[in-house]
Structure 1
């Protein structure tokens, strides 16, 4: 008898990201988009039906290739109940709005007013940027904030009226077996400064780009100015976001009463290993040169069997030491489009992962590259009772 089932899917959308988890009666999506969006639309349409809800949509950041198919997802499900996304400061939000408008990328409404974009039946939960790499160790777990996703709204910020949570907050939906989601909004000021330097060199007014969300509407209108902005965007590999929200999805803690194998005997040698590997870290486009995953998610290291490699396997976002603590037996999906112009994924990244005992898994726009992980968690006591009854 199975107590808990999760179907985790890395969908084949090409140069983008679309990942989902179907829990017993709870649906999760992390990112939903691709460039071109036509690669993602049929995949998104097939993933869920119009009679289903998305209980939580996590948005890692606002690059077009990670959010371009969210409208398609909205149209093809009954409702998106909750959206968890990184909280942006106004300057960066204005900059993203101006850049996306000038590049004719139709995600401005999503960036500027997520509540208006999703509608009144969706709760928007903002994750505050982390001040530093906070460690989630056993000694401070009791001090972390726990939130039940079935009991929103959470605490609202007194000044903004928004629902806000700290990076590292533990989101759960209850039940006998607690599966948790731990978002971490990393703020990369270096990425922002690189973009600002490039914009300044190209003679764009950075002060107005960050203070006036309508600046591009009035001032970046000619083909030559749009081309100049596209060149800036291309030089930094489309990686303009300061914020990228990681999410751990997996068991809250090691539970000796449960395992992922069907052979739940007292002397079973596999239950500890299998249970520990049910967790996953989704990384969006974070920069592993700046983010130490092992430090951030130290309390979950033994649970993690999957780590998504960020930014389509770009060598500029990769630093192996960020993953070193997760070895061995970790699978590393890399999402990319076979026709991308950036050389993703980097052979250097794939080789380094392989040489250190990790298992890179390439997910592109081809349907046979889809990766589906079926997780069944069994109660050892229930299996003992089942075997005892069956023996009479």
Structure 2
């Protein structure tokens, strides 16, 4: 079984580079590759740790007996590795089970159209936002730093970006028209922020991934329940975009640029006011006076990890660096069997202590079992608090690997954020537009099956 997801799809750099990266990603998920353990001694270190008792844990005894007797297959960007030089592509078409969009800045969404055009996307999950919030993000992408939106405006996907900003549901309904491809069913989920969840650690959205359990013996012909093996948990952290957007819209109405807020739900209107230089210059001045350095985005925070992490130890957990034209070498091996999850913050503003406390209320358990952390806003100092790194690790505290997707265009990541993470013991990686910086994480996880009820 293969389940594939994407968290954000955009760039502030060249769209050509982004499209090549998407092509690489879609090609890679069709390329299984094999890792063969060199010796059984690679796994003995787990049995020597006080919290990893092989003698008392049935799952661990089972995996320990078989670990060095088999190969392990992964799907991902290492087309060539130290052990397998020529993995073959599968014949099945690639598909993405779910795409998460953290927020509506153009550098997070301008690759979505190309992704939809070139593969099958089953579910698209976005944070619930008002039209004025999305309009504010369009202004930010256009006026705060001209690079990302100006590149998009000259491309073939500009109409889709405007439609997606005006009405995400409308853009998904009309994507065959925009992208010149056959219609397919994309389920759009708008994740609304539920304030009642804040104090209870519940999330605004959860999506379990199930796999059928193989029956054996006398139960071979009986039906059985599917097992939840993976779980996506997401919560929307609200910023001030709705309030600032309301102020911006009021000013634009008074200037006669738009008649009402409902104009923002019409992509044709958006194109008209942004293409007219006299009008767009007025919008730019108004945006900068109201929101330029004050905007905190409403952003979707996502965790991806085993459904039962306390019973799902990981093996062969490694980070790899490089692209498909080079031999891959493991640059880091994670020796904690319980550090299995990934936690990403989008552009959420987590600088204030109150927001850090809310983040911890929502994701305290996920932090215990996460190996990889994508700090907010590409490592921007504006959205960072070093206490975000508190309370990672199980059974004792340990710092996660921090990954920053940025290449300095907006001075991200901040050297101060890198220093904070390193001082807390985190290994830090910066992934840029250079393919040699690509970071791939692989791990094999033992999933418990003893709770299956046959009937």
SS at match of 2:10: strand
1:176-215 matches, cutoff 5 A: 176=227, 178-189=229-240, 191-194=241-244, 210-213=261-264, 214=266
Q: How far has the Cα of 1:377 moved from its partner?
A: 1.0
1:212 to 1:312, Cα distance in 2 relative to 1, 3 A: same
The counterpart of 2:25, out of the listed 25, 30, 47, is 47
Relative to total residues, which structure has the larger strand share, 1 or 2?
1
Q: Secondary structure at the match of 2:210?
A: coil
Does 2:442 correspond to 1:374?
A: yes
Asked if 1:354 is matched to 2:422, the reply is yes
Q: 2: CA distance between counterparts of 1:132 and 1:182?
A: 16
- The CA distance in 2 between the partners of 1:370 and 1:232, in whole Å, is 39
Cα distance in 1 for residues equivalent to 2:206 and 2:260: 35
Instruction: State which drifts further: 288-297 or 360-369.
Output: 288-297
Q: Whole-Å Cα distance in 2 between the matches of residues 60 and 298 of structure 1? A: 20
Scaled by the length of structure 2, what TM-score is found? 0.60
TM-score (norm 1): 0.69
Distance in 2 of aligned mates of 1:335 and 1:234: 26
Give the corresponding residue for 2:341.
279
Q: Aligned partners of 2:116, 2:374: CA distance in 1, in Å?
A: 24
The gaps in structure 1 that reach 5 residues or longer are: 1-23, 138-143, 145-166, 263-271, 383-392
Contact 2:10/2:108 (8 A) holds in 1: yes
Deviation readout 1:135-185 (Å, 9 max, x if unpaired): 555xxxxxx6xxxxxxxxxxxxxxxxxxxxxx4332112123521001111
Is contact 1:62–1:241 with CA below 8 Å preserved after alignment? Answer: no
| Residue of structure 1 in register with 2:350 after alignment | 288
Measure the CA separation in 1 of the matches of 2:97 and 2:350. Answer: 29
Deviation, structure 1 residue 251: 1.6
- Cα distance between partner residues in 2 of 1:241 and 1:356: 26
What per-residue deviation string (whole Å, max 9, x for no partner) do you get for residues 34-81 of structure 1? 02322311010111148111111111111110111112212222x101
Give, in whole Å, the separation in 1 of the partners of 2:174 and 2:296: 20
Determine if the alignment matches structure 1 residue 74 to structure 2 residue 127.
no
Partner residue in 2 for 1:6? none
Within the candidate set 349, 374, 378, 1:308 is matched to 374
Partner of 1:25: 2
User: 1:315 touches 1:348 (CA, 8 Å); kept in 2?
Assistant: yes
In structure 1, how many angstroms separate the alpha carbons of the residues matched to 2:385 and 2:255?
Answer: 32
1:331 to 401, 405, 412: 401
CA contact (8 A) 1:99 1:216 kept: no
Q: What SS class does the counterpart of residue 134 from structure 1 fall into?
A: helix
The question of 1:128 aligning with 2:105 is answered: no
Shift of 1:226: 2.5
CA RMSD for the aligned pairs?
3.6
SS at match of 1:274: coil
C-alpha contact (below 8 Å) 2:101/2:126 kept by paired residues = yes
Higher helix share: 2
Q: How many residues align?
A: 318
SS in 1 for 2:441: strand
State the structure with more CA Rg. Answer: 2
Query: What SS is found at the alignment partner of 2:193?
Result: coil
Shift, 1:132, TM fit: 6.7
Contact 1:94/1:209 (<8 A) preserved: no
Structure number with higher relative contact order (C-alpha < 8 Å, ≥ 6 residues apart): 1
2:105 aligns with 63
**Structure-2 residue corresponding to 1:14:** none
